[in-house]
C-alpha cells in the first residue's frame, strides 16, 4: 500500500543462470504479475527471457507499460524466476519511506500474504522501480 498514487515500472531482481552440460549459462525465464489485493484483478503481467550469464547477475524486469497504483490500496506482486535458488532476504521492513524530487515523501507498507502486517518472511524484492 502506498500513501500517494504512483506509477510502477517493474522490479529489480537478481538471479543465477543454470549451466547446461556444455558449461554454457542457460537463459533465465521470469514472469511478473501485479494484482489488486482485494479484488484479485490482474493489473499488469509480463513474461520475459533474459540472457544467461556466468555467476550471479542483476536485471530490471519491467512491465510493458507502467502500472498505476492508487493510494491506500493493497496490491499483490508475484515474480517467478527459473534458475538456481538465490539467497533472499527474510525479515524485511514493514514500511519504506521514499523521497521524491525534494520534499515529497511516499510511504510504502508491506504485508504478508495472509493480509496481516508483518515483515517479509519468504524473501523480498531487491528493488521496486517507479516512474516519475
Which cell numbers in the block locate residue 110? 508491506
* Per-residue model confidence as pLDDT tens digits over 75-132: 888 888 776 655 555 556 677 777 777 777 777 777 665 544 444 444 556 778 888 7
Read off the pLDDT of residues 52-71 as tens digits, 9 standing for 90 and up: 777 777 788 899 999 999 98
111: cell is 504485508
**Contact (Cβ atoms closer than 8 angstroms) between residue 111 and residue 118:** yes
Architecture of domain 6-131: Sandwich (2.60)
How would you class 54 by CB atoms within 10 Å of its CB: exposed for 0-12, middle for 13-18, buried for 19 or more?
exposed
At residue 101, the pLDDT reads 72
**Position with higher pLDDT, 45 vs 2:** 45
Measured between alpha carbons, how far is 99 from 93 in angstroms, rounded to an integer? 17
Amino acid at each position: 500500500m502506498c500513501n500517494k498514487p504512483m506509477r510502477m515500472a517493474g522490479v529489480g531482481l537478481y538471479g543465477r543462470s543454470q549451466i547446461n552440460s556444455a558449461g554454457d549459462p542457460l537463459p533465465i525465464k521470469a514472469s511478473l504479475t501485479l494484482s489488486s489485493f482485494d479484488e484479485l484483478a490482474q493489473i499488469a503481467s509480463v513474461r520475459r527471457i533474459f540472457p544467461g550469464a556466468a555467476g550471479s547477475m542483476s536485471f530490471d524486469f519491467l512491465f510493458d507499460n507502467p502500472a498505476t497504483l492508487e493510494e491506500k490500496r493493497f496490491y499483490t506482486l508475484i515474480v517467478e524466476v527459473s534458475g538456481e535458488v538465490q539467497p533472499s532476504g527474510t525479515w524485511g521492513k514493514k514500511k519504506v519511506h521514499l523521497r521524491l524530487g525534494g520534499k515529497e515523501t511516499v510511504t510504502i507498507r508491506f504485508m504478508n500474504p495472509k493480509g496481516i502486517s508483518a515483515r517479509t518472511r519468504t524473501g523480498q524484492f531487491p528493488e521496486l522501480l517507479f516512474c516519475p
